[in-house]
């Protein structure tokens, strides 16, 4: 993919998140691997004001924060860079304040195996990354740690992150994670529900490998 195409994909994804009610205004951010670089949305620019020229370029192997572009990168560039640097199978990362993910993150409730679709995230739960101030090095450490074994996590009192092989897959994961959060929130409201076992989630993961939703290269273990 050319850098021009990658910039256009990021803009389309950022707008799609707003249109689907998964993000609001200038909150949330999107990044995409482009060779040795990551391309990321600029800080504090809303979905209706963003243009391809505003997308910021940073080196994945450079933790210093150097950037190229007309505007500074998302304040969350540290965890975007950290995930792309440590998960070669992930090429796109999305962070949003999706409503039901954020409600569970405020209640500090990781999502257990309430539904077989959780298997698409690489295991039997969606972990909760510890709280640290937005944009901080500590927050990046917590999020990158949570994303070592999963393709999505909640962020305490903040929101959610998902990462996949490409942006189409990652947007799908964001939508699925919000659906799981929505289901869990309502299951809690009627008493909590029944959890699937690790064996049942592993069985689902094996079945997914021969089915559309799971037949993707990112391989959280």
Provide the annotated active-site residues: 76
User: Site residues for ligand 13P, window 61-90 (CB under 6 A)?
Assistant: 74-76
Contact between 30 and ligand 13P by CB under 6 A: the answer reads no
Contact between 163 and ligand 13P by CB under 6 A: the answer reads no
Residues in the chain: 221
Contact between 43 and ligand 13P by CB under 6 A: the answer reads yes
48 to each of 20, 26, 44, 172, how far by Cα in Å?
Answer: 14, 9, 12, 22
Smallest distance from the beta carbon of 123 to ligand 13P, in angstroms? 25
Asked if residues 169 and 92 have their Cβ atoms less than 8 Å apart, the reply is: yes
Smallest distance from the beta carbon of 14 to ligand 13P, in angstroms? 10
Contact between 28 and ligand 13P by CB under 6 A: the answer reads yes
Contact between 38 and ligand 13P by CB under 6 A: the answer reads no
Which residues have a Cβ under 8 Å from the Cβ of 140 and sit 6 or more positions away? 76, 78, 79, 81, 82
- The contact set with ligand 13P (CB under 6 A) reads 26-29, 41, 43-44, 74-76, 134
């Amino acid at each position: 993919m050319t850098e021009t195409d990658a910039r256009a994909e990021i803009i389309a994804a950022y707008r799609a998140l707003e249109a689907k009610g998964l993000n609001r205004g200038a909150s949330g951010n999107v990044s995409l691997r482009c060779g040795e670089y990551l391309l990321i949305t600029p800080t504090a620019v809303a979905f209706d004001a963003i243009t391809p020229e505003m997308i910021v370029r940073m080196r994945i192997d450079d933790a210093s924060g150097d950037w190229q572009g007309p505007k500074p990168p998302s304040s969350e560039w540290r965890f975007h860079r950290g995930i792309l640097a440590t998960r070669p199978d992930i090429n796109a990362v999305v962070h949003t304040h999706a409503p039901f993910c954020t409600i569970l993150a405020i209640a500090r409730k990781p999502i257990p195996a309430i539904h077989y679709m959780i298997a698409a995230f690489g295991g039997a739960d969606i972990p909760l990354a510890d709280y640290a101030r937005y944009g901080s090095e500590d927050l990046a450490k917590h999020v990158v740690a949570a994303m070592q074994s999963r393709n999505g996590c909640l962020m305490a009192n903040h929101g959610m992150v998902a990462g996949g092989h490409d942006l189409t897959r990652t947007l799908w994961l964001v939508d699925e994670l919000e659906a799981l959060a929505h289901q869990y929130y309502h299951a809690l409201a009627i008493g909590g529900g029944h959890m699937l076992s690790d064996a049942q989630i592993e069985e689902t993961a094996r079945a997914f490998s021969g089915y559309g939703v799971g037949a993707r290269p990112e391989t959280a273990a």
